[in-house]
Structure 1
C-alpha cells in the first residue's frame, strides 16, 4: 500500500500535469512488453509494436532498454526525470545529464542480486559513448512504440482532464483527489493506493505532481527516491478496442472533410464525446479562438449543440452530426429507420 500524507497546504500546492510525459511512457510501455497486464486493452498494441520493432531492427535495442528498466519492484528513477507535458528532446537531455554517482547507484540497485551486464556497467560509469547510445535507443524506441499512438494518448488525456476539471470545480482539491478513485483514495488526511510494497511518501512541503500515464496500468506509480520532486503517475485506463478505433479514424481527416473542410471535420470527429472548447483546442492543437469558431459553424449547421457551464462551453454532436460522420442516411439515423 502506498500512503502519501497530505495537509491543507499540500492540497493547495497540488499540480496536475497537462499531458503525458514521453520518458514515463517509454519506461511504462517497456514494462508492458515484459508482462501481460491489461491483456484485453494492450495485447493488440503489444503485437503491433513487437512486429514494428522487429521490422525496424530494434529488437535488440529494446532488449537493452529492458535490461536498464526491468518490470520489477525497482527500476531506476533517472530514466523518468519528467513531470508531464515536457518534450522528448528535453527529457532525453535530462536523462543523459544524470550525474555519474547517481547512475552508478541506481543501476547497481537494479542488479543488486546479480551480475551487471557489460553494457549497463559502462553506462553506470558514465561512459560518453554508452550515454550517446542510450539517447539514440530512447529516440528510436519512442518513434516506434509511443509516437504512432499519440493521437489516442491525447484523446485519453483530454477526456481525463474533463473529469478532473469538473471534479475540481465541484469539490476543490479534495474533490479532485477523490475523482481518481478507486485507484487512489483520500483517507484520513492521506492519499492511499494499491502498491506492490508498503510505501510511505513524505511530501515535506513540496508540491505533488499528478501525471496521467497512458501505458500505466493496474496501479499508480511513484519515484523510488523520496528526495526527488514527488510525482504520482496514474493510469488513464483506455477502453478495450482503443487501437482499432485509432486505426479506423487514422491520422488523416475523415472523408466528410471534402464537405465541411479538414479541420472542421476533425472537430466534429473529436466530438464523438462531449468536450469543452479548451479540450478541443488541446486535443487538436488549435488555439481556443479557432476551436470556438469551428464549433460555432458546426452548431449553426445543426451538427453540434453547445451548452454553457460556468466559464466553459460544452459541445456535443447532434444525431445529424453522428449521421454525417458515420456516413449514414440522415433520415434513417435521425428518425430511427424508414418511413
Structure 2
C-alpha cells in the first residue's frame, strides 16, 4: 500500500502541472515493453513500437536501456529528474546526464548489487563515452516509442486534467484529491492507494508534484529516494481503442484488438457486475465462484486495463475502468 500524509499546508503546496513528463513517459513506456500489462490498450502500441525499433536498428540499444530501467520494484531515480526541471525532452536528458557521479553510482549499485554488465559500470562511473551513449539512447528511443504518439497521449492527459480542474472548481483541493478515487483515496489525513510494496512518502514540508502519465498503468509510481523532491506519477486512462483509430503508422485497417482472446462469458459477467466497487468475495458470490477463482478473473481483467483494484484493509475492491465500460458496451472498433 502507498500512503502520503497530507496536512492542510501540504494541500496548498500541491503541484499539478497537468502535462506529461518526457522522461517519466520514456521510462514507463520502456516498462510496458517488458511486461504485458493493460494488453487490450497497449498491445497494438507494443507491436508498432517493436517494429519501429527494429526498423531503426535500435534493438540492442533499447535492450540495454531496459536493463538500465528494469520493470522491477526498483529502478534508478536519476532517470526521472524533477518535473520542475524538465520543460522538454532535451532539458530532461541534460538533467539525467548531469546527475552527480556519486548518486549515479549509488543508484546503479542498488539496481545491480553484483556490479552488472561492464557498460552499466561505465555509466555508473560517468565515463564520457557512456554518457554520450545514454543521452543518444534516450532521445532515439523517445523518437520511436513516445514522440509519434504525442497527439493521442496529450489528448488523454488533457482530458484527465480537465476532470481534475472541474473537481477543483466544484469543491476545492479536497474534491480534486477525491477525483482520483479509486486509484487513490482519502483515509483521514492521508492519501492512500494500491502499491507493490508498503510505502509511505514523507513530504517534510516539501511540495508534492502530481504528474499524469499515459504510460503509467494500474498503479501510481513514486520515487524510491525519500530525500528527493516528492513526485507522484498517476495513470491516465487511454481512450478506448486509441491506436485502432488511425494511430501513427496505421494502414487504414487499424490494429485489431485481441478482445475475443480476453473476454469469455465468465469475465464478461464479472465486468458487467463491476459497474460499482465490489470486493473479491462479493464478486465470487455473484458469479457463484470460489474467491480464488474470482480473484484470478479480476487479475486478468486488471492486467488488460479493464478493471482497477485497490486494497482496503484485508479486502480488495474492484471496479470497471472507462476502457472496460466501452468494451462492455461494444464501443471498441
Match runs of 1:19-58 below 5 Å: 19-58=19-58
Map of 2:223 onto structure 1: 223
Q: How does 1:320-335 map to 2 (within 5 A)?
A: none
Give 1:130-279 correspondences, 5 Å limit. Answer: 130-247=130-247
Aligned Cα RMSD in Å?
A: 1.5
Check the 8 A contact 2:37/2:217 in 1, yes or no: yes
Aligned partner of 1:253 in structure 2 is: none
Cα distance change on mapping 1:12 and 1:249 into 2, 3 Å: farther
1:58 Cα offset (Å): 0.4
Distance in 1 (CA, whole Å) between partners of 2:82 and 2:40 is 29
CA distance in 2, matches of 1:245, 1:179: 28
- Tell me the SS of whatever aligns to 1:16: coil
| Aligned-residue offset at 1:235 | 0.1
Q: What corresponds to 2:297 in structure 1?
A: none
Aligned residue pairs total 249
TM-aligned CA distance change 1:214 to 1:88, over 3 Å: same
**What SS class does the counterpart of residue 26 from structure 1 fall into?**
helix
Give the Cα separation in 2 of the matches to 1:99 and 1:246.
43
Q: TM-score, normalised by structure 2?
A: 0.73
Contact 1:152–1:246 (Cα < 8 Å) also in 2: no
Structure 1 residue 248, shift from structure 2 partner: 8.7
Tell me whether 1:96 sits opposite 2:120 in the alignment. Answer: no
Q: 1:87 to 1:121 in 2, by over 3 A?
A: same
Q: 1:90 to 1:248 in 2, by over 3 A?
A: closer
Higher Rg: 1
- Give 1:154 shift: 1.1
Take 1:116 and 1:220, find their aligned partners in 2: how far apart are those partners?
Answer: 28
How far does residue 126 in structure 1 lie from its aligned partner after superposition? 1.0
Mapped partners of 2:82, 2:59: distance in 1: 26
Contact 2:115/2:121, CA 8 A, preserved across alignment:
no
Quote the residue 2:77 is aligned against: 77
What corresponds to 1:306 in structure 2?
none
Could you say which residue in structure 2 is the equivalent of 1:87? 88
Contact 2:109 2:115 in 1 (8 A): no
Consecutive unaligned residues in structure 1, runs of 5 or more: 251-339
Cα distance in 1 between the residues matched to 2:147 and 2:243: 13
Of structures 1 and 2, the one scoring higher in RCO (CA 8 A, sep 6+) is 2
CA contact (8 A) 2:218 2:235 kept: yes
Shift of 1:249: 11
1:136-174 Cα offsets, whole Å, 9 max, x none, are 000000000000000001101110111000100111111
Post-superposition offset of 1:82: 3.5
Distance 2:150 2:82 in 1: 17
Alpha-carbon spacing, 1:101–1:249, altered in 2? closer, same or farther (3 Å): closer
TM, length-normalised to structure 1 = 0.72
Structure 2 unaligned blocks of 5 or more: 251-333
Give deviations 1:59-115, integer Å, cap 9, x for gaps: 000001011000000000000003277200000000000000001000000012x44
Deviation at 1:18, TM superposition (A): 2.8
